[in-house]
Homo-oligomer: A and B are copies of this chain.
């Protein structure tokens, strides 16, 4: 067993699992603290998840929304980054076990986020991927773009319709932003790109189980969002549940009514569940998970019975005395990350800290190219003004100065040219065969193929 000993031996060791908003902000806030920080992540980059939908729809490249963790923490000498996967936690020995080693802690900050949740239908995962990782994202981009390519080569109107039908499940911010961008692709970006099909005839369906899309927003903004989506050609179905997903269909249920939508492209933006670390802490540290799989925490975000284990971000199930659990959004994670860093610092000084309190600065969602709905404090915006607010806030939030400028330049180009330059179909999947399986791959030697009229036959 290899061993690496640290330089400073008597320093309080803080181990953070996860380099998302929560973990990264915790690490950054410990910059000047007299502690030894180890940040463990499976990936070598911090991902700006709120913009994943822009990668999935070809507006930005993966690197535009991802920054190497080492670069962000380069000058923070008390912090080291480890590329690794935490597979177990031993609270008695204060050890995080990785696939290939272990790290000891004095304080553990768990910021492992959430994953998709298919409500017990895990086999839907392959049929309806969701936006969580760069790989999910390029896969969704591949599916969307390949659908248009395949439709272009198809002649059967029914099959064309199936390829040109896109279903987004979940009317929260992710689903709304994604559906809006998909509407823009069909109505604008691809408008003159094809010769046989008209991309603007594509059907984009946004399915939401509740009464409203963007249910956490004021009703007025929710309705504005719906209006904006309609202008982009997105049909919104509220009060609709998904009862089944197949390779070329989705079944929606609304009360007693069932509808089968024929489509090859379904994207999941509905449920999320806490990461598997939740299960581990439930077993090893008697933690209690809520129904989402997030862990119930004390008012100071520590795990009941384990003051040295702090849970933040999507993994934490935290409620103010007066309200429902906080949502799994970036600002909550960031504030929690900063709070636990302060908590560690206070404890080292032998002081106490007031319970965590989330300050809601508002929320916002874009609807296509130059519209957004935004709620900031008691202000409500929509349309162009909302979009400008969205733009400003998102640029300010993007962690690294460099990315911020480049993303702005890319957005400016996209905005003025109507283009999305990152429309690459990558990955090793084969080009789908638009013909039905019993069609022969090679053309028959009949007279038809030989006539000059049939210039292309499939």
Q: How many residues of A contact B (CB 8 A)?
A: 96
**A259 to nearest B CB, angstroms?**
28
Interface string of A145-163 (1 = CB under 8 A from B): 1100100111110000000
Majority SS of interface residues in chain A?
Answer: loop
**CB distance A426 to B458 under 8 Å?**
no
Which of A36, A45, A453 gathers the greatest number of chain B CB atoms within 10 Å?
A45
Question: Quick one: which of A145-191 are within 8 Å of B by CB?
Answer: 145-146, 149, 152-156, 190
**A305 to nearest B CB, angstroms?**
22
**A401 to nearest B CB, angstroms?**
9
Distance A14 CA – B316 CA, assembled complex (angstroms) = 62
**A261 to nearest B CB, angstroms?**
23
Q: If A405-B413, A424-B134, A425-B43 touch, does A456 touch B4 (CB 8 Å cutoff)?
A: yes
A192 within 8 A of B: yes
**CB distance B402 to A153 under 8 Å?**
no
Kindly list chain B residues whose C-beta atoms are within 8 Å of the C-beta of A5.
Answer: 453-456
A440 within 8 A of B: yes
**A41 to nearest B CB, angstroms?**
10
A423 within 8 A of B: yes
A74 within 8 A of B: yes
Distance A179 CA – B83 CA, assembled complex (angstroms) = 25
A121 within 8 A of B: no
Q: If A417-B402, A435-B101, A457-B102 touch, does A424 touch B71 (CB 8 Å cutoff)?
A: no
Kindly list chain B residues whose C-beta atoms are within 8 Å of the C-beta of A71.
Answer: 193, 419, 421, 423
Distance A260 CA – B403 CA, assembled complex (angstroms) = 42
Question: Quick one: which of A394-411 are within 8 Å of B by CB?
Answer: 400, 402-403, 405-406, 409-410
A208 within 8 A of B: no
A38 within 8 A of B: yes
Kindly list chain B residues whose C-beta atoms are within 8 Å of the C-beta of A82.
Answer: 152-153, 456
**CB distance B63 to A100 under 8 Å?**
no
Distance A448 CA – B93 CA, assembled complex (angstroms) = 13
Kindly list chain B residues whose C-beta atoms are within 8 Å of the C-beta of A419.
Answer: 71, 402
Interface string of A91-114 (1 = CB under 8 A from B): 001010101111110000000000
Identify the closest chain B residue to A79 (Cβ).
B195
Kindly list chain B residues whose C-beta atoms are within 8 Å of the C-beta of A422.
Answer: 61, 63
**CB distance A442 to B102 under 8 Å?**
yes
Distance A173 CA – B108 CA, assembled complex (angstroms) = 49
Interface string of A279-309 (1 = CB under 8 A from B): 0000000000000000000000000000000
**CB distance B1 to A452 under 8 Å?**
no
Identify the closest chain B residue to A66 (Cβ).
B424
A9 within 8 A of B: yes
Kindly list chain B residues whose C-beta atoms are within 8 Å of the C-beta of A103.
Answer: 455-456
**CB distance B43 to A457 under 8 Å?**
no
4 closest A-B pairs by CB: A101-B458, A63-B422, A61-B61, A70-B193
If A71-B423, A104-B455, A406-B421 are given as contacts, then 5 extra A-B residue pairs at C-beta distance below 8 Å, sorted by A number, are A2-B154, A4-B155, A68-B423, A84-B431, A95-B449
Cβ contacts A to B, 6 pairs, < 8 Å:
A2-B434, A5-B455, A44-B423, A71-B419, A104-B452, A406-B421
